[in-house]
């Protein structure tokens, strides 16, 4: 079985493989040089492919941000108001759920409430597009962000009785009422 080691030629950066030759009477310890050179065009090609990949990634990001300004299907007011009703119903259900005094049940209810707040807020913000009436878009975006702020604070352990959280809850309720009026 040949014994191989990689060396670097003196004065050269190309690796060389040294193999011990085998004879019929045994193993010879005389090194035999085997040249193993990497094509010189491989590194520039890899650099070119990397540059193309970066360019495609940037193009994709720019295109996706332009596509996000595209109008969503359906009547904008009806779509936004329907999404608002769904989120408001979901938040109300999940934040007022009562599974009893068990700590695990209470943690589950709290987790679902936080999910409803964060997910519902993001869902509402995502429903706003360039065709949404401006006043409704601002109100829904404000309400969605309020829900996210309330949910993120709740995730960090802030209680509803905390003054800052109480202020967020009041602001969220005010934004909710504004959207209700605009959706009439």
Per-residue pLDDT tens, the chain, 184 aa: give them.
544 444 444 444 555 555 555 555 567 777 767 666 667 766 676 666 666 777 677 777 776 555 555 566 678 899 999 999 999 999 999 888 888 888 888 888 888 889 899 999 999 999 999 899 999 999 999 999 999 999 999 999 999 999 999 999 999 999 999 999 999 8
Alpha-carbon torsion angle 149, 150, 151, 156, nearest 10: 90
Query: Residue 58: exposed, middle, or buried by beta-carbon count in 10 A (0-12, 13-18, 19+)?
Result: exposed
User: Residue 31: helix, strand or coil by DSSP?
Assistant: strand
Of 77, 88, 101, the C-alpha closest to 146 is 88
Structure-token pair, residue 176? 């909710």
Structure-token pair, residue 134? 């401006």
pTM of this prediction? Answer: 0.60
Provide the pLDDT for residue 25.
59
């Amino acid at each position: 079985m040949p014994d191989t080691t990689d060396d670097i030629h003196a004065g050269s950066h190309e690796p060389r493989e040294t193999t011990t030759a085998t004879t019929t009477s045994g193993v010879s310890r005389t090194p035999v040089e085997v040249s193993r050179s990497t094509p010189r065009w491989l590194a520039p090609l890899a650099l070119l492919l990397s540059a193309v990949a970066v360019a495609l990634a940037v193009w994709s990001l720019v295109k996706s941000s332009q596509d996000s300004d595209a109008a969503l299907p359906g009547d904008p007011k009806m779509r936004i108001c329907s999404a608002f009703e769904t989120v408001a119903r979901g938040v109300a259900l999940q934040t007022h759920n009562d599974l009893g005094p068990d700590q695990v049940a209470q943690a589950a209810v709290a987790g679902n409430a936080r999910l409803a707040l964060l997910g519902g807020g993001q869902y509402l913000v995502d429903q706003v597009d360039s065709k949404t009436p401006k006043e409704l878009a601002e109100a829904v975006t404000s309400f969605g962000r309020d829900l996210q702020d309330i949910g993120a604070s709740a995730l960090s352990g802030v209680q509803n009785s905390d003054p800052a959280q109480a202020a967020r809850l009041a602001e969220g309720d005010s934004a909710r009422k504004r959207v209700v009026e605009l959706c009439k």
